[in-house]
Amino acid sequence: MNRFIKRRVLVLFLAGFLVFVPVAANAGITDIITLLTTITSTLQNAIGTVLSGIQSIRTTITQFEQQVVWPVALISQTKNEVAQVRSQFATLAGQIETLPTSSATLVNPKNLESLLRSQQAANLSQINASYTQVFQTLPPADQATVTQRNLIDVDDAMAMGALKTATASDQGSQQMLSVADNLEQEAAASAPGSAPMVTAQAAAANLQNQAMLQRLLAAELRQEAARLAHTNALRKQSAEANRTLRNNLQQILSRQR
């Protein structure tokens, strides 16, 4: 704004000077001084008043922005509070994350637990082998019925699916914590007027977190559905065994007659 005003004043000065150059060329020193005095008076009185009004309006707008739209005092207070909260809880959060949670003691369970707590989706391909070492393989066909093998197989599949989903979710949660930490840093150092941008970033991170929670909820619902299906399959198997036993008893009784 100041550069624009100065350029306009310079242009008006040059225009007035060029208009009166022919006259000044044939005039004396006194006339030239009188001409320059007139131009200076015009700049100070007419144009100077306009420039002063523009500067006053600019000052009023700046005060309105700093006191009402983006109150500097409140923004500074908020930044200080964010920095204090961050300093109070950052250390505690770091200590919580480093707490030892592994409790398995044998080799195979320790390997499986390490994979499940690794928070690395890249380790999902190793879970199958480690899971089999702990929970054993599917029994062969000559050691279990078809129904039993089906139930064991689907239960293993649902269990490994839930474990893999939880491992990938742990990695996503760690990334969300990193995003939240960055948002805290931006909030503590953000300039007046940048709050909408930080809010938009926080809203996007919240949507990602909600999507991750929905995926975990879906995995939990699948596990519950599989458990109900397993219970119903056992009931059906029991009913089938009772029916077979009843038929066998009827055949034995009919032979005795």
What would the two tokens of residue 238 be?
């029991």
Banded pLDDT at 55 (limits 50, 70, 90): confident
Measured distance CA(237)–CA(234) in Å, rounded: 5
88 alpha carbon, distance to own chain's centre: 22
Residues 6+ apart with CB under 8 A from 20: 35, 39
Banded pLDDT at 212 (limits 50, 70, 90): confident
pLDDT at residue number 24: 46
- Write out pLDDT tens, residues 67-86: 777 777 777 777 777 777 77
One-letter amino acid at 216 equals: L
Contact 109, 134 (CB under 8 A): yes
Q: What mean pLDDT value characterizes the chain? A: 78
On the question of pLDDT at 23 being above 50, the answer is no
pLDDT at residue number 127: 92
Choose from 23-32, 55-64, 65-74, 127-136 the range with maximum mean pLDDT. Answer: 127-136
Measured distance CA(250)–CA(248) in Å, rounded: 5
Alpha helices by DSSP H, listed for 101-145, are 107-116, 124-135
Q: Is the pTM of this model over 0.75?
A: no
Percent of all residues in the chain with a pLDDT value above 70, rounded to a whole number: 78
Measured distance CA(104)–CA(111) in Å, rounded: 9
Query: Domain residues of the chain, as ranges?
Result: 2-69, 74-256
One-letter amino acid at 103 equals: S
**Phi and psi for 192 in degrees, rounded to 5?**
-55, 130
- 37 or 226: which leads in pLDDT: 226
